[in-house]
Chains A and B, each alone.
Chain A
Amino acid sequence: MELTLWTYEGPPHVGAMRIATSMEGVHYVLHAPQGDTYADLLFTMIERRGRRPPVTYTTFQARDLGGDTADLVIRTIRQAVDRFQPEALLVGESCTAELIQDQPGALAGGMDLGVPMVNLELPAYSKKENWGAAETFYQLVRTLLKAQLPAPGTPKPSPSRWREEGRRPRVNLLGPSLLGFRCRDDVLEITRLLGEHGIDVAVVAPLGARPADLLRIPTADANVCLYPEVAGPVCSWLERSFGTPVVRSVPIGIGATADFLRELHAVLDLALPADLETVEGQPSEAERRSRLPWYSKSVDSTYLTGKRVFIFADATHAIAAARIASRELGFQVVGLGSYSREQAREVRAAAAELGLEALITDDYLVVEKAMAEAAAELVLGTQMERHSAKRLGLPCAVISAPLHVQDVPARYSPQMGWEGANVIFDSWVHPLMMGLEEHLIGMFRHDFEFVDGHRSHLGDGAPASASASTAPSPEEASATSTAVATAAAPAAGTITAAVAVREALESLWTADGEAELAKIPFFVRGKVRKNTEAFARERGLERIDAEALYDAKAHFSR
């Protein structure tokens, strides 16, 4: 028994729903009690789907349990097949139905349905959503391709058979699904990228595929495992059974996209284009297809140097993010982890490369604690981390499922390929303050204008007492300005006091102190004066000379 407050993944049958709903012509009969239909809203709300998921629930109740729930299953399957006329049927059960052991898949097997049927056995008490999606996709492909299985001992097809057949090479894109992160746009981006290299896409699945499309999977020269969480098992099976090679580089980020293209060309026995050649480990020309490399080199990005970034996501996006952050944006990765236990080994390896120990957990509180302890300045995570980061006051970009409706944007925003790298640059850097802006705000940090968010020139004015109070902390200062805003009447007295304090402070400056201050650019001068005075007051200095000014400068540059 395990206490869960919020969970990264749903139960495995939700993974099966993701496969069914991603496809066309597939229907899923789910033996489940009232309430389990909640999962429909993941698709209709988060993905804004204009159609109900193709799922029929048996909706059994307590009073059915004494009677014949098996009969309810059979009736429901029959009605669903009649009503929806699917091209393939998935039959399975949710956690409660698993306990009553009606074995709906076996029942369906005994019915003459006239369509291919997959009996899904997804252990609800030990497995989770991504596993369920991968298993469902694998079982469905396996069931549909049974008739095409080559006889044992059949030689592997040559990955360069396209040449003999006088056609362009073609690959399958496997793994994109609903409720995955930006899959819709990744498919477009990768299809375009492949097209530029003269490679066709045979089948994209499960997203948008029909059962008939899955029958064409063996016609491809290679399988691209775009999302290992969903397509890992099916790609391995296709490699074992059909001898189809698998491209396993996931093209997220500049280096990874180049690696992907190189692996793809090698697998298909295609000549590597000149712009993908690397000379003495130098980046290849092709990488300039994205703006990320130049944006990252441009001076405004200097402030990104060494930013402490904490990464937690599904394995695919976590590993990709760690590589981009450390090698392409110059961040310092201070934490790396994933909730994908199935890919824990790969995440651990990626973390070890960065001198870190990977955090493999599905407890978001453990993640939040690690995030706080790592003193992160930027969080790259899921919706869970977005909320944790908000609590900790940290900027955050969402890079992986689980999603919120806002992670399914209207605009084109892939993560993969060259354009994906552009999107990543923008979406990770924007939560941070821009370079010069951050520099200036750092300098003006203690000014009242910046204490409680940005003030507007339209109103409020200066809180009169702010300069008089001794080095207010941001909280105190905001309390002060609130007090001033609500009690304007006694302000006159405060102003008089403030003037007195101002005069007293000004008298502390020696001639060389003033001279040194005058050398400081005007737009920072007031700030430096104020900081130096605060420093002098704190130290009980009687005079502010040039030395004191430099001491103060050193003090505030901490």
Chain B
Amino acid sequence: MEVPNQAIPSMGVSAPPVQPSPADLNPHLHPDLLKESGQREVFCGLTSIVWLHRRMPDAFFLVVGSRTCAHLIQSAAGVMIFAEPRFGTAILGEKDLAGLADANEELDRLVKDLLERRPEIRTLFLVGSCPSEVIKLDLAKAAERLSAQLLNRVRVLNYSGSGIETTFTQGEDNALQAMLPLLPSSDEEQLLIVGTLADAVEDRFRLIFERLGITTVRSLPPRRSTDLPPIGRGTRVLLAQPFLSATARALQHRGATLLSAPYPFGVEGSRDWMAAAATAFGVPLARFAEVVDPLVERGRRALAPHREVLAGKRLFLLPDSQMEIPLARFLSRECGMELVEVGVPYLDRQLMAADLALLPADTQLSEGQDVDRQLERVRAARPDLVLCGLGLANPLEAEGIATKWSIELVFSPIHGCDQAGELAELFARPLRRRALLQLS
């Protein structure tokens, strides 16, 4: 394929040229990044299992950890997925702590039992936790050993979802990285969408890319854990989720090109995200306009009623899923909200470049958390809406501050022009509800 020379202009008018790099970023754009450390009201990476296991129905996620790990996933998942789940916890007991040799034997026995019960499983992820990391239980070696034993039947991979190393959505980053060594090499021209999307949303994007004439589109993670996409020089990577820093870098090391774009939240973000792919694949501007403009038009219409509710309202985003920056961009630019503070668990400027560039220049960013101090800032600012986790939502509501639960955003289909209305509605609903209730 020829290198395209006709870049499709982005909608984000204040956006830099399509390929921003960290060097392009004006370090003074967001001058007062607030760095905090202290108590974090954030899940650990194990929580990613809740959506990863649904994405790959032939994979099982076995956490090697404590009762706390099991209780965490169960509480985070709630009863939404109560069934025979495709995840579980190998709970370490006192005996396992006393001797690592025994712990390895125990793990092998448990995996064997598990796989006998679940013969449909093709990939088993051994997921490291805080306790397994601290006692230095070598899950890489365990995965190697078990893979050899289960050759041609089940692939055993390992990664860490521990809270001492990962926050909430970083679990997916680590899981994908663990899959990378299994990806075959090929220099075939392809578009690779990286990051879990709802199946319906993914189908929709594939259809749009097909209409644009981008013929080979693959996904990581795939829908079947064994259906692994090849990777190489012809691969253009489009990140669907903003929390895959390590995976993105590892893919680049395998020869893939990382396309820079805002994340596909909202009409503008989704349109520019698709435009990045279209530019990379030399899709003519006219063709792009023909396919995408009607979607943009329709998306804007769907957004309009929610914009009426949200415009001018002040939003405070607490750090949670790493989606905060692209969401803030969408809510400020397309819904007219004012940003009080945009908190992220950690700031990856390269991955966030396109979205950061579209944030209002005076946006207060914060990285990390000291929850009590951050809540003091929330109380002082009295925002109209706070994006936060479930541990904080009711306490803030009880103080009279409207909230939007952040966990819903990782479970709901919110990507793409077609979902822009729904995404805005998620934020407008708490405000609409408060307007409806005639209660003291």
Contact = CB atoms under 8 A, between A and B. Distances in A.
Given A62-B165, A383-B79, A125 B93 contact: yes
B96 interface: yes
A41 B78 CA distance: 10
B contact patch SS = helix
A42 interface: yes
A37 B39 CA distance: 9
Contact of B395 (A33, A44, A123): A44
Given A6-B82, A95-B66, A124-B67, A33 B162 contact: yes
A3 B113 contact: yes
Residue from the set B94, B134, B163 with the largest chain A CB neighbour count within 10 Å:
B163
A57 B134 CA distance: 18
Contacts of A404: 79
Given A5-B88, A11-B66, A60 B395 contact: no
A59 B40 contact: yes
Interface stretch (A46-54, A259-267, A438-446, A498-506): A46-54
Given A35-B130, A96-B131, A44 B164 contact: no
Nearest to A34: B163
A40 B163 contact: no
B39 A57 contact: yes
Given A5-B85, A7-B67, A35-B163, A59 B79 contact: no
B96 A51 contact: no
Interface string B283-327: 000000000000000000000000000000000000000000000
Contacts of A13: 68
A538 interface: no
Contacts of B119: none
Interface in B1-49: 38-47
Interface string B140-162: 00000000000000000000001
B440 interface: no
B188 interface: no
B79 A50 contact: no
A61 B165 CA distance: 6
Contacts of B96: 1
Nearest to B38: A59
A36 interface: yes
A38 B43 contact: yes
A83 interface: yes
Nearest to B72: A38
Nearest to B86: A5
B389 to A, nearest CB: 7
Contact of B42 (A35, A62, A94): A35
B110 A50 contact: no
A10 B89 contact: no
A56 interface: yes
B367 interface: no
A42 B130 CA distance: 21
A50 B397 contact: yes
Contacts of A7: 67, 70-71, 74
A45 B39 contact: no
Contact of B67 (A4, A44, A383): A4
A128 B93 CA distance: 12
Contacts of A33: 44, 130, 162-164
A58 B83 CA distance: 34
Interface in B39-77: 39-47, 65-68, 70-72, 74-76
A61 to B, nearest CB: 5
A241 B162 CA distance: 44
DSSP class of A's interface residues: helix, strand, loop or mixed?
mixed
A95 B89 CA distance: 14
Interface in A372-399: 383, 387, 391
B263 to A, nearest CB: 24
A522 to B, nearest CB: 46
Contact of A128 (B67, B76, B131, B394): B67
B134 A100 contact: yes
Q: Which of A34, A48, A76, A383 has the most CB of B within 10 A?
A: A34
B134 A99 contact: yes
A38 B88 contact: no
A558 B299 CA distance: 61
A11 B68 contact: yes
B428 interface: no
Contacts of A124: 66-68
A381 to B, nearest CB: 13
Contacts of A49: 394-395
Interface in A395-409: 404
A14 interface: yes
A549 B42 CA distance: 69
A56 B110 contact: no
Interface string B382-403: 0000000111111101110000
Most buried by B among A41, A56, A61: A41
Nearest to A124: B66
B106 interface: yes
Given A11-B67, A33-B130, A125-B92, A52 B392 contact: yes
A126 B42 CA distance: 27
A45 B390 contact: yes
A83 B372 contact: yes
B381 interface: no
A371 B207 CA distance: 47
A80 to B, nearest CB: 9
Nearest to B64: A1
Contact of A35 (B72, B133, B397): B72
A37 B388 CA distance: 13
A14 B71 contact: yes
Interface string A94-129: 111001100000000000000000000001111010
Interface string A55-74: 01111111011000000000
B236 to A, nearest CB: 34
B182 interface: no
B127 to A, nearest CB: 13
A353 interface: no
A37 B107 contact: no
Given A62-B165, A95-B67, A39 B75 contact: yes
Given A1-B95, A4-B88, 4 more contacts: A5-B84, A11-B67, A51-B395, A125-B92
Can you list the 4 inter-chain pairs with the closest CB atoms, starting with the nearest? A35-B44, A50-B398, A35-B163, A40-B391
Interface of B: 38-47, 65-68, 70-72, 74-76, 79, 82-85, 87-97, 103, 106-107, 109-110, 113-114, 130-131, 133-135, 162-165, 167, 372, 389-395, 397-399
